[in-house]
Structure 1
Amino acid sequence: MTAAPADLLIERPATTDGPALWRLAKDSKTLDLNSSYSYLLWCRDFAGTSVVARGADGEPVGFVTGYLRPGRPHTLFIWQVAVDPGHQGLGIAARLLDGLTARLAAEHGITEVETTITPGNTASERLFTSFAERHGAGVTREVLLPADLFPDGPHDPEVLYRIGPLTDFTAH
């Protein structure tokens, strides 16, 4: 894998980033695409638990959206991860995930990350298992949402990946 560009700016998203995040999710062709409205609100209400990567022109080339779980404030749930197809394979997703979790460990004391991945999404499986390895954490998996719960047509089950405890937030 080639390294992420050195001039990549990683920061909290702004509401004005919502349209770009929607486009990145749409262009991923693997994420469930939410309404454009939801990306605008996400960038407003969950900017503190999300992150965007900007290319040299200042435009978003990747993002991670997440939230602290109600009732489990030391658990960060990662909702979506997307990287522009022209920027994939550069380690941007890993850099975003590492940066976000390090910030939230310092700000909120998170010790665990959760996400769901559909079976066969090997890119996401690799991203999160390598994240666990980098941070000295274990990974457990269980079906969280079986396919038959989704009312809007065929949908693969969503497998919950629980990663923790997170112990190593040194620079990677």
Structure 2
Amino acid sequence: MIDTPRVEDGAAIWRIARDSEVLDLNSSYSYLLWCRDFADTSVVARDASGEPMGFVTGYVRPQRPEILVVWQVAVDGAHRGKGIAGTLLDALTDRVVRDLGITGIETTVTPDNVPSDRMFTAYAARRGAVLDREVLFDGGLFPEDGSSAHAPEVLYRIGPLTSG
């Protein structure tokens, strides 16, 4: 079941993000806030018992209120490979296009994150939307150094969007 996140989902969403081993993990507190303050621009997938098994978090870009920024997408390891992430992204898009007038999405993907690249490329194709890519933040802008240096974040712009 696809649902709007609730504050009570914050801990589970944090664990899914942590266990992804791909996402930059934010504080557990930030996931609680996300479920409270950005629930209208985020979604969760629930298993049969109602527990979150995947999520997409997003927000409306303040300088461009027609753009949804997709912050994080993750699915619990036991449920990966079943198309849940794409289903979540489609459900969220349908809702924000209809309710908020969103016409495009932006997200960032590191060059080594092949699954995310494939998911957003397939999403753009499904929606009949244009996908443009450009480096948004060069890796040198991040404070990490040495072996833990941050990869560049490539901005994906996808649009125009219509509800599916």
Instruction: Tell me how far apart the structure 2 counterparts of residues 145 and 159 of structure 1 sit (CA, whole Å).
Output: 7
Equivalence map 1:1-172=2 (5 Å): 9-153=1-145, 154-167=149-162, 169-170=163-164
TM-score by length of 2: 0.96
Task: Give the secondary-structure state (helix, strand or coil) at the position aligned to 1:166.
Answer: coil
Instruction: Tell me how far apart the structure 2 counterparts of residues 105 and 165 of structure 1 sit (CA, whole Å).
Output: 10
Displacement over 3 Å in runs of 4+: none
What's the Cα RMSD here? 0.7
Q: Paired residues, what number?
A: 161
Unaligned runs of 5+ in 2: none
Instruction: Tell me how far apart the structure 2 counterparts of residues 59 and 108 of structure 1 sit (CA, whole Å).
Output: 27
TM-score by length of 1: 0.92
Task: Give the secondary-structure state (helix, strand or coil) at the position aligned to 1:63.
Answer: strand
Unaligned runs of 5+ in 1: 1-8
Of all paired residues, the percent bearing the same amino acid is 63
Q: Which amino acid aligns with 2:143?
A: P
Quick check: which one's helix share is greater? Answer: 2
Instruction: Tell me how far apart the structure 2 counterparts of residues 35 and 120 of structure 1 sit (CA, whole Å).
Output: 23
Give deviations 1:102-160, integer Å, cap 9, x for gaps.
00000011110100000021100011011101111011101001001101331000000
